[in-house]
A and B are shown apart, each in its own frame.
Chain A
Amino acid sequence: MIIWTIAKNSWVDQLRNRFYYLIILFGGVLLYVSLLVGVLAVEQELRVLLDLGLALIELLTLIAAIFVTTTSILREMERKTIYLILTRPVSRLQYLLGRFFGLLISVACAMALMGLVHLSVLLAKGWKFDLFYPLVLFYSLLKVWLICSLSMLLALYASSTLTAMSITLILWLLGHFGHEIAFLVKKSAGIKAALLQTVSYIMPNMTLFNLREVWQHPDFVFSWSVFGASVAYALLYSSACLFLSQRLFNSKEL
């Protein structure tokens, strides 16, 4: 209950944040730009619209999420407003989880809003609705979910917004290089290969959630077991990050 109250407050706080609206507005502008780019692809306009739109929704939500995660707790700590919450019967874990879930709700809302705009553009252009579309957005949300927990951990560890943001972005990029790192592992040998392999395992595996890249591939087959495993991966990975965040947060002297 306490977690939910903090999450709700956190969400309302995000709704008051101008940056949040800026991102959604920017999303609208970029979707408009993708319309123009789509025209250049002539008979493949729908494909381009679909690809660009889905990627932009994901990337913009990611930027918003990283920015908000890394700034919100640190800002409250700097301004000492965190005392207003922690002096009440609220544990640090509850505070952390409330903030995290509040952020996730606002990210999901932004994603749904941009998805609706994108979907209406696609339908207006003659695209036939595919049930995979909401699933692709859900997978993107899982990606952002995972990266939010990671950036929260980094923000608490680094105590610097900029450092946390930069490292999170690097991890995001590396997470998409899973197959390329595997390729490098094959080309390397000895300790270098072992080190690369270990790092690639610890990195968040973003390709697992990259459904928007593969769902239209002729050989792609949807499997509920893979879906369940992907959700479980996101849950477990973010739980591990939240666990570490909580340990860090507990050890901090506010």
Chain B
Amino acid sequence: MTAWIGNFAAAALFLGLLGMGSERLVFWPFPSLDKIEVPASEAALSLVSLSLGTRRIGADLLFIRMLQYYGTPEFLEEKEEGGRAGEHEHHDADFGGGVYAELYPRAQRILSMDPSFRYAVLYAATALAFNLGRPEEATALLRSALDKDPRYWRYHYHLAAIAYQESREFGKLAGILAKIVDEERETPSMLKNMLAALYVKLGRLEEARRVYEMIRDSSQDPDYVRLAEKKLLLLEQAVPSQPR
């Protein structure tokens, strides 16, 4: 028995020293517990994610829930009760309008679970600034993201874009959005669609056509692909494209 206790104590000491040394090796870019704010409804999900060491999955699931929230027409139930059952607000050219008061806190929660989830930040910031008319929330979200990921240049450009939108300098806004937008998967199709619509507004139809083509060819969002096809058809009718 004494020998067994001695063995156990020696092993515990050894493991303790090992653990002490191992702590310095860990790269852990996630915020501590006190920085994570979740409502009661999402507490279980967050706890499971943290316990299993799967924060990224936690952020993924929160992101999917945010997409579902923002993709569901607001006040639909009230409308159906008012005798307009079956008449849905379809996602169309300028879809995404409404209030969606929960969008900002939801995006912040994703950021607290995974500070490197850039797409989610850009998606929510675009929706808040350009679709929902809440640039102050978009700015706050981008600033929180920049605190955690200061070298990501798209956040800086996005902040500039919001400033141009506020000062109604649409030419400059198009210029800065063009820098953010490319075929990378990190850029939400929503943002590309915004830029194309802006080009149309500014009468720069050829550039609009190019962006819509990019959405059609590279977007994974079928709604935006359909929308781009529709817009390209309209542009073709307005200004037939030159043979290349």
Contacts and interface: CB of A to CB of B under 8 A. Distances in A.
Contacts of B51: 173, 176-177
A202 B25 contact: no
A37 interface: yes
Interface residues on A, range: 35 or more
Nearest to B221: A42
A202 B12 contact: yes
Interface string B1-35: 00110011001101111111111011111101110
A234 to B, nearest CB: 10
B220 interface: yes
A48 B60 contact: yes
Contact of B188 (A43, A45, A52): A43
A87 interface: no
A59 to B, nearest CB: 7
A203 B20 CA distance: 10
A47 B34 CA distance: 26
A205 B33 CA distance: 18
B60 A218 contact: no
A37 B26 contact: no
A206 B28 CA distance: 12
A246 to B, nearest CB: 10
Contacts of A66: none
B7 A244 contact: yes
Interface string A175-192: 011111011000000000
A176 B220 contact: no
The 10 closest A-B pairs by CB, nearest first: A201-B19, A176-B53, A201-B16, A205-B22, A51-B56, A183-B32, A55-B54, A173-B51, A43-B220, A240-B11
Interface of B: 3-4, 7-8, 11-12, 14-23, 25-30, 32-34, 50-57, 60, 63-64, 67-68, 116, 119-120, 149, 151-152, 185, 188-189, 219-221
